[in-house]
Amino acid sequence: MSFLRPLSLFAALVALVGCGTESPEEGPALRRSEAALTGIDLGVSELGVTCDGDVLTVTGAIRNEAPTGVDPSTAGIYAGDPAAGGTLLATVNVPWLVGKERYGFQTVVVVPQGTQRLFVVADHTDFFPEDDEVNNTASVTLASGGGCVVNQTPVALCKSVTVSAGVACAAPVSIDNGSFDVDHFPQALSLSQSPAGPYAVGTTAVTLSVSDGLASNQCSATVTVVDASAPVAGASKNLVLPFTSNAEYRQVTLADCAEPATDNCGGTLDLQQAGRIIRVVSDESEDALSGLRLLACRDIQLSADRKSAQLRAESSILGNGRVYTMTYEVKDASGNATTGTCKVKVPSLQGILSVGLGPVYCQGTACPAGTGGGLLCSLL
């Protein structure tokens, strides 16, 4: 068996340890993991051929795929599949390779007439017991008669994709669905999309082109980008309504009350268009005695379109200034909504601007419990 020749020291030690722990009770799964303990793996890559009649120059690389060193080996170049009677044309002497080292080779061979495929096999005498024997063989198809390599056209595979837009209202999207080049020849597969991303909100027809440097292919699919991010509400403008002694109404629009909202797709959202008042809360009761008029009721009246409110510019004689808090909803064009609040203040007679107390009187939707009309107003 192959252990008669020197292995790399590490690999040999690992192999010996593996044998020492073997026991009849162990199941197949454990045996497989032990079988993987040789720590040796040679492979073939970058196989290419150029031709001059029936004289071929074969280029490629033998790679030590394992992390540890491996002793010198040989690779065979065959006309036809060596597993089906292929003819050995030449060998490549591969030196000691440290872990992950690549050994490039270039060898001239003369192929017999009628050869259809050229094979290169790492460790072709099967001297080393390897973790992976499949990657030891690579092949190229030769053109009939001329000897040159027939390039396999890459295959383009597409899929339609739907994603959410990012902060800039766009998204980078790949429609590639596993495009491949079966012979990996002559170059690594390159992919490009037209139009290129990132893609704006909406639906975009996209074409994917794949090329191996010689042949190319295309497929098409649809990219759908949706806005799934709610706007960010703007800050309160903290509007101050000067105290009026006869409790006059002042119309306050949403835009008077709050800064515009911002949205990843809509940019700056005009509250008069994108906003809607949910409710307005006062931190004083409707029947709080105020100014010369003393009792003025219905201190908050929302407009039918919920874009503004009539607010009485009054505050309680006994209070520290009134605070109206407007709660509103703002939506982007895709219907993503967020809720914001803003405050409108009326100073006290002494000119104090309150920071606001709890809700006492409320008009609109989903008002807190116990914030209905004042007792005195109900008696009117």
Listed in sequence order, the residues at least 6 apart from 304 whose beta carbon sits closer than 8 Å to its beta carbon are: none
* Residue closer to Ca ion, measured from CB, 139 or 229: 229
Q: Does 316 bind Ca ion (CB under 5 A)?
A: no
Cα gap 105→97, rounded to integer Å: 14
Handedness of CA 118, 119, 120, 126 (dihedral sign): negative
Residue 372 CB neighbours (<10 A): 15
Give the DSSP H or E segment for 376: helix 375-379
Q: Does 132 bind Ca ion (CB under 5 A)?
A: yes
Question: What tokens does 256 get?
Answer: 């008077």
Among 68, 116, 135, 236, binds Ca ion (CB under 5 A): 135
Max distance between CA atoms of the chain, in angstroms, equals 115
Q: Residue 262 in contact with residue 232, Cβ under 8 Å?
A: yes
Q: Does 315 bind Ca ion (CB under 5 A)?
A: no
Q: Does 210 bind Ca ion (CB under 5 A)?
A: no
CB 27 to Ca ion: min, Å? 26
* Residue closer to Ca ion, measured from CB, 109 or 337: 337
* Residue closer to Ca ion, measured from CB, 41 or 329: 41
* Residue closer to Ca ion, measured from CB, 75 or 296: 296
Listed in sequence order, the residues at least 6 apart from 311 whose beta carbon sits closer than 8 Å to its beta carbon are: 241, 249, 250, 252, 280, 299, 300, 324, 344
Count CA atoms within 13 Å of residue 61 on its CB side.
11
Q: Does 229 bind Ca ion (CB under 5 A)?
A: yes
With contacts defined by CB under 5 A, name the span among 29-37, 76-84, 136-144, 203-211 that binds Ca ion. 136-144
Among 61, 140, 183, 347, binds Ca ion (CB under 5 A): 183
CB 276 to Ca ion: min, Å? 16
Q: Residue 231 in contact with residue 330, Cβ under 8 Å?
A: yes
Q: Does 348 bind Ca ion (CB under 5 A)?
A: no
Q: Residue 166 in contact with residue 160, Cβ under 8 Å?
A: no
Strand 216-226 and strand 202-211: the pairing is antiparallel
* Residue closer to Ca ion, measured from CB, 176 or 183: 183
* Residue closer to Ca ion, measured from CB, 130 or 176: 130
Q: Does 284 bind Ca ion (CB under 5 A)?
A: no
Q: Does 256 bind Ca ion (CB under 5 A)?
A: no
Q: Residue 115 in contact with residue 79, Cβ under 8 Å?
A: yes
Q: Does 332 bind Ca ion (CB under 5 A)?
A: yes
Write the Ramachandran bin of 286: left for phi over 0, alpha for psi from -120 to 50, otherwise beta.
Answer: alpha
Q: Residue 370 in contact with residue 266, Cβ under 8 Å?
A: no
Q: Does 136 bind Ca ion (CB under 5 A)?
A: yes
Q: Does 264 bind Ca ion (CB under 5 A)?
A: yes
Cα gap 67→324, rounded to integer Å: 71
The footprint of Ca ion on this chain (CB under 5 A) covers a number of residues equal to 22
* Residue closer to Ca ion, measured from CB, 21 or 33: 33
Cα gap 120→107, rounded to integer Å: 11
Q: Does 185 bind Ca ion (CB under 5 A)?
A: yes
Q: Does 283 bind Ca ion (CB under 5 A)?
A: no
* Residue closer to Ca ion, measured from CB, 197 or 213: 213
CB 123 to Ca ion: min, Å? 7
Q: Does 193 bind Ca ion (CB under 5 A)?
A: no
Q: Does 130 bind Ca ion (CB under 5 A)?
A: yes
Q: Does 265 bind Ca ion (CB under 5 A)?
A: yes
**What letter represents residue 344's amino acid?**
V
Which residues sit at the interface with Ca ion, rule CB under 5 A? Answer: 41-43, 130, 132, 135-136, 151-152, 181, 183, 185, 212, 227, 229, 263-265, 296, 299, 332, 336
